[in-house]
């Protein structure tokens, strides 16, 4: 009973929006297949060892002759393990070309999304086929289902690792180098991406969401982001500009064009604040504005705890209205 309970609890952790064993992408499904094949091979060897143990400890067994013992060692210690391990290795080598994240020269026709790992958030830029910028957002990625997407990965300062477990494997983001990974979502849904390389005090507070939607919905989303729609609150925008937020942040359709921090265009449509750290509510946005370093240690955003009473809340309400 306890064994069955343990197995059920273990298997329950193999699903969810951040599980490599609950694949929603072409590459992730191959990684999961390889894992299960390796698990079966390892289990076969384990069963053989346990079977040999029970055989050797049976009551009333006569001692083995030297010749019989030699045959047991040859078969159980050499032939069977080498055969199983060789089969597993051959399968892995055969599967590897299908798991290759990207082949140079193979980007023709692929939709391109440039992701830059910052401390501690994600700059996401959607590119045209010629590499020019369509628009920029942050901490959220939209991809079409059934279409292979090329991610262009960068970092300006420290090493990060881009990983969407449900869609595919990891790829490092190294300063001074551009890496690529091509992923294809196979079913709609919301998935969680993370940084898989320690990058500073808020490494664990650096998540992003991935929305996989059908092609028509994706094109509608692209069109809405390119158009932009300012919030109907000129007072909130005036406070945003007066307190200097535009020095670091950009908002489409306004004079705010900062590039140091995340773009806040359509900020109200995002599900979280601070790259997955807090829910996107007016109260939490205002709290993040006033005390960012308390929420995300090492954050480069300055504290605005000195703002007059109500200003942070008014700015937060304005940002929440951006769609």
Domains of the chain: 111-227 (2.60.40.420), 234-320 (2.60.40.420)
Kindly report the average pLDDT of the chain as a whole number: 86
Closest CA to 243 of 231, 258, 228: 258
The set of long-range contacts for 235-240, using a CB threshold of 8 Å and a minimum separation of 24, is 235/314, 235/318, 236/314, 236/315, 236/317, 236/318, 236/319, 236/321, 237/318, 239/311, 239/314, 239/315, 239/318, 240/315, 240/318, 240/319
235 alpha-carbon distance from chain centroid: 37
Which H, E and C letters describe 245-289, residue by residue?
HHHCCECCCCCCECCCCCCCCCHHHCCEECCCCEECCHHHHHHHH
CB of 200 closer than 8 Å to CB of 291 = no
1 pLDDT more than 60: no
- Taken as a whole, the chain contains a residue count of 323
139 is written with which tokens? 């901490």
Query: Phi/psi at 236 (nearest 5 deg)?
Result: -65, -40
Q: How far is CA 269 from CA 115, 116, 211, in A?
A: 19, 21, 12
Bridge partner list, 116: 123, 154
User: Which of 99-113, 115-129, 190-204, 252-266 comes out lowest in average pLDDT?
Assistant: 99-113
User: What residues contact 278, with CB distance under 8 A and at least 6 apart?
Assistant: 272, 284, 287, 288, 295
User: What residues contact 9, with CB distance under 8 A and at least 6 apart?
Assistant: none
Q: How far apart are alpha carbons 110 and 142 in whole angstroms?
A: 15
Q: How far apart are alpha carbons 199 and 314 in whole angstroms?
A: 33
Interval 117-171: pLDDT, tens: 999 999 999 998 888 999 999 999 999 999 999 999 999 999 999 999 999 989 9
The residue whose two tokens read 């196979």 is 186
CB of 101 closer than 8 Å to CB of 168 = yes
Closest CA to 138 of 126, 152, 156, 150: 126
Q: Indicate the pLDDT class of residue 8, thresholds 50, 70 and 90.
A: very low
76 pLDDT more than 90: no
Interval 187-242: pLDDT, tens: 999 999 999 999 999 999 999 999 999 999 999 999 888 766 666 678 899 999 99
């Amino acid at each position: 009973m306890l064994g069955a309970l343990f197995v059920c609890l273990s298997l329950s952790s193999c699903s969810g929006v951040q599980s490599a064993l609950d694949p929603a992408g072409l590459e992730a499904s191959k990684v999961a297949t390889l894992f299960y094949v390796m698990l079966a091979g390892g289990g076969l060897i384990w069963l053989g060892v346990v079977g040999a143990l029970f055989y050797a400890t049976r009551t009333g067994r006569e001692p083995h002759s030297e010749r019989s013992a030699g045959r047991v060692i040859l078969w159980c210690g050499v032939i069977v393990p080498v055969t199983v391990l060789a089969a597993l290795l051959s399968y892995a080598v055969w599967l590897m070309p299908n798991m290759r994240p990207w082949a140079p020269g193979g980007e023709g026709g692929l939709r391109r999304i440039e992701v830059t790992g910052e401390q501690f958030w994600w700059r996401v830029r959607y590119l045209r086929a010629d590499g020019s910028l369509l628009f920029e957002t942050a901490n959220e990625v939209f991809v079409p289902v059934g279409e292979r997407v090329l991610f262009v990965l960068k970092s300006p300062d420290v090493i990060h690792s881009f990983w969407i477990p449900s869609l595919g494997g990891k790829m490092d983001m190294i300063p001074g180098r551009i890496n690529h990974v091509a992923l294809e979502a196979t079913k709609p849904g919301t998935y969680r991406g993370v940084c898989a390389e320690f990058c500073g005090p808020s490494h664990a507070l650096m998540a992003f969401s991935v929305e996989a939607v059908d092609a028509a919905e994706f094109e509608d989303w692209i069109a809405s982001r390119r158009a932009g729609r300012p919030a109907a609150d000129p007072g909130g925008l005036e406070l945003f500009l007066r307190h200097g937020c535009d020095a670091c942040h950009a908002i489409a359709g306004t004079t705010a064009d900062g590039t140091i921090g995340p773009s806040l265009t359509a900020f109200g449509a995002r599900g979280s604040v601070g790259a997955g750290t807090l829910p996107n509510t007016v109260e939490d946005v205002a709290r993040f504005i006033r005390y960012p370093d308390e929420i995300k240690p090492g954050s480069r955003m300055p504290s605005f705890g000195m703002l007059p009473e109500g200003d942070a809340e008014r700015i937060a309400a304005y940002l929440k209205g951006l769609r």
